[in-house]
Structure 1
């Protein structure tokens, strides 16, 4: 990134670039992506779920999402996209920036649902100890017709807004921000293989897919860990969550794994002092 791009990111909380990988890699990734969304790996473990709907088995997903795609296709861990995104994230966050997690989102042709306005930090659990940047890449051209990213410039300078679960339904994984002005929103259309970068407090959104082709997107989240970033309290909207995804994840872990998971969660404030 140029110094001007870095300053733009810091001022606005987001940045769009026209290219982050090659056409050949995008073509290969589309094939892998479509296979994974057809197979729905990780559903039982809670990695595959509906971001914007009830996530019940047998119901059509509004915005299906797959966490950690490289767990199910290891070659995704060694892409030009990941290498370039990591290098740029280090420019924005510092040399210690590392991958926190990754996810892929599909919006079906003509019916793919809206991703509500939100801040990523609103999803963070208590004792989260990082600040993060998300690198979002479309696998086909995107604009406002099929759900490109939109941002509220400067929104990262404030605090986390009040949020609630979409439609005020705690069974839905996705969150929507409340009490903010949408009028300054800036849409970021991109070619396939372009990318947007945004911070974890930047308000962002993507609309419904009204095109006759699927809208595929792949996001990598990089963060730097520090004691000063530790979240001390749970957000109230996260305490209300009753999602099918988390229920499946708990069932998949089993009683022993859940006990270990609970101990690890309880130990976090001690380990991170």
Structure 2
């Protein structure tokens, strides 16, 4: 395991490009522990109710499993996650990037099951959020499997966080994912090994292809933002899926008027 903070060069790279790769974000001996917890969510041993949705609804044709499995707030169901390596190290690094007032806003699991082959559309995370006066926000995307182009590794458009947000729209009439106009020619794929994390700015443009392989592509994402902004979100009724996606959409629509 390396340092729990970041050096000047890493911070400058993030500020310039809008993303930063951190190898061995969690120790190799912890990968199995996280995979075991993750699989308990996927197989239903940990019942998540409305917190489990198909982010790829209307985008793929799978009927036996979700096209893209999204489980919000895993730390609500397994509270010990908050004290484990990933949450603690990612929080420390988010503070190095944006300041000591950064705190956990939400966490989520996004899995692309074998052969589901459903792309996550091009988008910027900030398009999903309500408007806040302080725009500091960073997500960490942790790979629990090898992430490749063929199974859905992340693609980023460098420096896109320095431009205005693009216009987003629902990808499907059934809801689910948002999309904006972009293509792979703008971006670069980031293929990484298990245990590697990628931090990206809330306004960084990104996407991933579908999983066309016979293996899982399990990702564990944590988002951080200033505590004062989290308080404003909660006061507005915005809690990133804790109370249900329909309520969330209504709050977001009200704030976008």
TM-score range, shorter chain: 0.7 to 0.9
8 Å Cα contact 1:14/1:199 also seen in 2: yes
Aligned counterpart in structure 2 of residue 34 of structure 1, from 14, 39, 42: 39
Q: Distance in 2 between matches of 1:166 and 1:41?
A: 28
8 Å Cα contact 1:155/1:202 also seen in 2: yes
Matched with 2:112 is 107
Matched with 2:237 is none
User: Alpha-carbon deviation of 1:73?
Assistant: 1.4
8 Å Cα contact 2:116/2:210 also seen in 1: yes
Q: Distance in 1 between matches of 2:43 and 2:184?
A: 35
8 Å Cα contact 1:52/1:172 also seen in 2: no
Give the secondary structure class of the aligned counterpart of 1:10.
helix
Matched with 2:212 is 210
Q: Distance in 2 between matches of 1:184 and 1:246?
A: 31
Number of aligned pairs? 232
Matched with 1:61 is 66
Q: Distance in 2 between matches of 1:33 and 1:147?
A: 18
8 Å Cα contact 1:130/1:226 also seen in 2: no
User: Alpha-carbon deviation of 1:131?
Assistant: 2.4
Aligned counterpart in structure 2 of residue 13 of structure 1, from 18, 36, 45: 18
Equivalent residues in 2 for 1:1-273, closer than 5 Å: 1-39=6-44, 41-43=47-49, 46-54=50-58, 60-126=65-131, 130-167=135-172, 169=173, 171-178=174-181, 180=182, 182-225=184-227, 246-247=245-246
* Unaligned ranges ≥5, structure 2: 1-5, 234-243
8 Å Cα contact 1:130/1:224 also seen in 2: no
Runs of 4+ with deviation above 6 angstroms: none
Give the secondary structure class of the aligned counterpart of 1:221.
strand
User: Alpha-carbon deviation of 1:74?
Assistant: 1.8
User: Alpha-carbon deviation of 1:32?
Assistant: 0.9
Higher Cα Rg, which structure:
1
Give the secondary structure class of the aligned counterpart of 1:102.
strand
Give the secondary structure class of the aligned counterpart of 1:201.
coil
TM-score by length of 2: 0.82
* Unaligned ranges ≥5, structure 1: 232-244, 251-260, 269-273
TM-score by length of 1: 0.77
User: CA, structure 1 residues 79+128, in 2 after alignment: closer, same or farther (shift >3 Å)?
Assistant: farther
Q: Distance in 1 between matches of 2:101 and 2:23?
A: 26
User: Alpha-carbon deviation of 1:220?
Assistant: 0.6
Give the secondary structure class of the aligned counterpart of 1:89.
helix
8 Å Cα contact 1:110/1:209 also seen in 2: yes
**Structure number with higher helix proportion:** 1
Q: Distance in 2 between matches of 1:116 and 1:184?
A: 14
8 Å Cα contact 2:144/2:220 also seen in 1: yes
1:21-54 Cα deviation digits (max 9, x unpaired): 11221101101101111116322xx311011105
